[in-house]
Amino acid sequence: MPAASPYYTPEHESFRDQVRRFVSEEIAPNIDAWDEANTFPREFYKQAAEVGILGIGYPEQYGGVEVPDRFYGLIMVEELSRAGSGGIMASLFSHGISIPPILAVGSEEQKQRFVAPVLAGERISALAVTEPSGGSDVANLKTTARLEDDHYVVNGSKTFITSGMRADQYTVAVRTGEAGMGGVSILVIEADTPGFSRTPLKKMGWWCSDTATLYFDNCKVPAGNLIGPENMGFISIMRNFNDERIALAAQAHGLAQCAIDEATEWARERVTFGKPLIKNQVIRHKLVDMQMRTNAVKAYLEQLVYRVDQGESPIAELCMLKNLATSNCEYVAGEAVQILGGAGYMRGAKSERIFRETKVLSIGGGASEIMKDLASRQMGH
């Protein structure tokens, strides 16, 4: 039973129980095999949609499950983290960053076409902003889209695109106008568009998640796929970031707790020099330090989720939260592998995977250094 909390109701806890069961029955037994196979079954999107976790937080009219607050999303990410895999979350929820701009500024027809089938698990959606020449520097992206009659002709490339190999549609940031942030637009580009191609990328972690470089070679995209007004795409993309940073921090927190749980269980059962590992003070102190810092992440995370839910946009704090949560995950994963020893270096241990997968959380969604710069500017330094 959870301790009394100002944030959680019995409905939250009931939802947590259901997600936990889904994760332990449908993800945990398969995740090692999925990781080794570098993929997971496409039908899993449908399964996740059917139990109602794919659409959490999206409007009901497009097949979403509306929630009264962001804590449902937080619970979902934390529980999904218990399988100890960032990869499954990255791909399963690649729509989490790619459909909000469509919902925010797209037309009704675009929402029916590009949102509803995604929330039903029938189509996979990905966001394509980062380019080989730069990531967070959205204002200076180089992929161009030129309007010709009823088509945009798109040229350029995007890279490190999550769900990049399997996506049916991409929410792509392109340059339609002058240099800088005022010339950026958003197009939905479907995978079967002539002139589009993609190649897979191999990664340090997130093995079950497909990642790709995308190429647009005189790619003809219907003008009707423009999301929102031309040259107004920058703000839609930037607006995504608050929720993305919360989600990444939630993932970092969930994975850290997962590593602590595994290390604790191991320390209890592993016998060395005639006694369980946990009987050594040095191990117990490690576990306390890991939990202490992770509890602080949790407290900060919950407080900021609450504030964002109240309508605030505490950008500097969200940047600091992301850095606190991701650096803590790196620290905890390192300690967990250390406690597991040789077993922690072997595939099959959750901590081994988390150790490899925590790094991307400190890079994706804005690298730690970008976060600090942004926080610093927001704080008026």
Is residue 23 part of the contact set for other proteins (CB under 8 A)? no
* Binding residue for other proteins, selected from 8, 22, 93, 114, defined by CB under 8 A: 22
Binder to other proteins among 27, 31, 56, 74 (CB under 8 A)?
56
How many whole angstroms separate alpha carbon 174 and alpha carbon 101? Answer: 14
Separation of alpha carbons 216 and 330, rounded Å: 36
321 neighbors 300 (Cβ within 8 angstroms): yes
Q: Tell me if residue 244 is catalytic.
A: yes
C-beta separation of 237 from 129 below 8 A: yes
Q: Which residues contact 278 (CB under 8 A, 6 or more apart)?
A: 264, 267, 268, 284, 287
The reply on whether position 207 binds other proteins by CB under 8 A is no
**Out of 5, 21, 134, 200, which residue is the one contacting other proteins (CB under 8 A)?**
21
**Distance (Å, rounded) from C-alpha 337 to C-alpha 154?**
46
Per-residue binding string, other proteins, 33-52, x by CB under 8 A, is ------------------xx
Query: Hey, what amino acid is at 298?
Result: K
The yes or no reply on residue 1 touching other proteins (CB under 8 A) is: yes
Q: Is 71 in the site for other proteins (CB under 8 A)?
A: no
Strands (E), the chain: 125-128, 144-148, 151-162, 169-175, 184-190, 196-200, 211-222, 226-227, 271-272, 275-276
Please pick, among 78, 131, 244, 317, the residue that the annotation labels catalytic: 244
In the complex, what is the shortest distance from the CB of residue 276 to other proteins, in angstroms, rounded to a whole number?
A: 15
In terms of CB distance, is 47 or 136 closer to other proteins? 47
Question: Interface with other proteins includes 311 (CB under 8 A)?
Answer: no
> Cβ(88)–Cβ(48) under 8 Å?
no
Region near other proteins per CB under 8 A, out of 8-16, 191-199, 214-222, 285-293: 8-16
Q: Which amino acid is at 285?
A: H
Indicate whether 14 belongs to the interface with other proteins (CB under 8 A): yes
Q: Does 3 bind other proteins (CB under 8 A)?
A: yes
Quick one: 84 or 344, whose CB is closer to other proteins?
84
Kind and range of the H or E element at 187?
strand 184-190
Tokens representing 96?
């989490």
Exactly one of 28, 38, 65, 280 binds other proteins (CB under 8 A); that residue is 65
> Using CB atoms within 10 A of its CB, is residue 223 exposed (0-12), middle (13-18) or buried (19+)?
middle
Q: Does 18 bind other proteins (CB under 8 A)?
A: yes
- Regarding 28 and contact with other proteins (CB under 8 A), the answer is no
Nearer CB in complex with other proteins: 55/365: 55
Of 111, 96, 78, residue with least CA distance to 242: 96
Q: Does 355 bind other proteins (CB under 8 A)?
A: no
Length of the chain as a residue count: 381
- Asked if 312 interacts with other proteins (CB under 8 A), we say no
Is the CB of residue 38 less than 8 Å from the CB of residue 88? no
Residues within the interface to other proteins (CB under 8 A): 1, 3, 10-11, 14-15, 17-18, 21-22, 51-52, 56, 65, 67, 72
The residues annotated as belonging to the active site are 244
